[in-house]
Amino acid sequence: MMWIALLRGRVKASLAATRGVESAAEVVKYLLAGADAVMTTSALLRHGPVGLLPPLARVAARNPDRFLRAQLLALRVGVVALIVSAFARPLLDRLGAGGGAFATGREVVVLLDDSYSMRYGDRWERAVAAAGRAVDGLGPNDRATIVLFDARARALGQATGDRAALHAELAGARPGFGTTRYAAGLELARDMVLHSTLPRREVVLISDFQRSGGRADERAALPSGTAVHAIDVSGGVKGDNVAVVGALVERSTRGNRDQATVTARVANHGGRPARSVAIELVADGRTTQTLHMDIAAGADRTVTFQPLPVANRSVRVIVRTAGDGLAADDAYHLVIAPGDVLHGTVVGAPGGRA
């Protein structure tokens, strides 16, 4: 028996056991050891066919009732197995030939930053193009979800392998006015890949990677084995961005004339100092004043214009700076309405209190 076990798989010839066979137990041992055939002639001549009967057959011959109960138990177990297999058939079909996606497919989550900074220059167009390339790279067994995120994250649709549907979702997406928070998008991506039934999981993070957004490489938040691909659409350059972030109006009178003084706050969100920035005051479409100032990187300054005369009608006022890559915050609009200053005369007795 030892030699049969050692030779099994090492020689191409069939192996047959010829010695030491006295019962069905020895026949089973030889077969389990690797024998292709077991010679039982001598055992049959000495003991007859009954001697080689397996133990179960001998039990049945000696105790028919016990053997019948065992058969009924086996039948019940078989019926339960058939019922379980019937309910599991849809899943087995998906895992088998009818569901190849579960063997080789990828679960892809495309995180697309739609925060306010993505309006700078052509960053949004570049980001959508990068997301489109990720969609075009889907295989026949892959599926993807498009997720927009700023300070919060929201999926544009269900996970699908339909590239046309995913491209349609990208075509309808627009950047917003929120701040960047990478954690919001990564948390939603983590939930999606965590509940995926596909064996391969990938997250594609597309952003201009503002430093204020937190850590963009928080892979610890994602399940083990998740591949992360980061795509930077900023071009490696922090764009210049001088913004008019607010303005206030102070009303006063000079003689019998009403006037309004506009003070604006201008901030430099760029990564380098802004030199000789032109700040214009426009009243009813006409530039009335232009002032210049230097603003350090990451700082803000206030500018006060000369008073404007206020007529008996509303005046539309714009405080604006020279255009840059983010035009949405280059101007601040307000309206100065007449009648906001009340004129009065104090009357009192001579030498007395008013």
Each residue of 109-148: pLDDT tens digit?
999 999 988 888 888 999 999 999 999 999 999 999 999 9
pLDDT of residue 146: 96
Q: What is the DSSP letter of 61?
A: H
The answer to whether 259 touches 309, Cβ cutoff 8 Å, is yes
Q: How far apart are the first and last CA of the chain?
A: 128
Which of 159-163, 189-193, 309-313 is least confident? 309-313
Q: In the chain, what are the domain boundaries?
A: 2-87, 101-232, 242-336
pLDDT of residue 244 exceeding 80: yes
Hey, what amino acid is at 134? A
Instruction: Determine the Cα–Cα distance for residues 264 and 279; give it in Å rounded to an integer.
Output: 9
The answer to whether 220 touches 214, Cβ cutoff 8 Å, is no
pLDDT of residue 98 exceeding 90: no
CA 226 to chain centre: 12
Instruction: Determine the Cα–Cα distance for residues 320 and 305; give it in Å rounded to an integer.
Output: 12
What CATH number was assigned to the domain covering residues 242-336? 2.60.40.10
Q: What percent of the chain has pLDDT over 90?
A: 30
Closest CA to 258 of 136, 343, 320: 343
pLDDT of residue 185 exceeding 70: yes
101-232 and 242-336: identical CATH topology: no
What CATH number was assigned to the domain covering residues 101-232? 3.40.50.410
Q: Please state the φ and ψ torsions of residue 121, each to the nearest 5 degrees.
A: 55, -130
pLDDT of residue 237: 58
The residue written with tokens 């998906």 in the block is 94
Q: What is the DSSP letter of 271?
A: S
pLDDT of residue 148: 96
Neighbours of 29 (CB within 10 A): 17
Instruction: Determine the Cα–Cα distance for residues 242 and 266; give it in Å rounded to an integer.
Output: 7
State both tokens at 325.
């890559």
State both tokens at 57.
């057959």
Q: Residue 229 to residues 22, 207, 235: CA-CA distances in angstroms?
A: 68, 11, 16
350 backbone φψ class: left, alpha, beta (φ>0; ψ -120 to 50): beta
pLDDT of residue 354: 44
Q: Residue 305 to residues 94, 258, 261, 283, 302: CA-CA distances in angstroms?
A: 72, 16, 6, 12, 10
pLDDT of residue 173: 94
Classify residue 61 by burial, with Cβ atoms within 10 Å: 0-12, 13-18, 19+.
Answer: exposed
Instruction: Determine the Cα–Cα distance for residues 242 and 297; give it in Å rounded to an integer.
Output: 10
pLDDT of residue 53 exceeding 60: no
pLDDT of residue 247 exceeding 50: yes
State both tokens at 98.
């009818």
Per-residue pLDDT band for 222 (boundaries 50, 70, 90) equals: confident
Q: What is the DSSP letter of 221?
A: G
Per-residue pLDDT band for 62 (boundaries 50, 70, 90) equals: low
pLDDT of residue 45 exceeding 80: no
213 backbone φψ class: left, alpha, beta (φ>0; ψ -120 to 50): alpha
Q: Residue 4 to residues 20, 21, 25, 188: CA-CA distances in angstroms?
A: 13, 14, 16, 59
Identify the top-confidence range among 73-87, 190-204, 251-265: 190-204
Instruction: Determine the Cα–Cα distance for residues 176 and 85; give it in Å rounded to an integer.
Output: 51
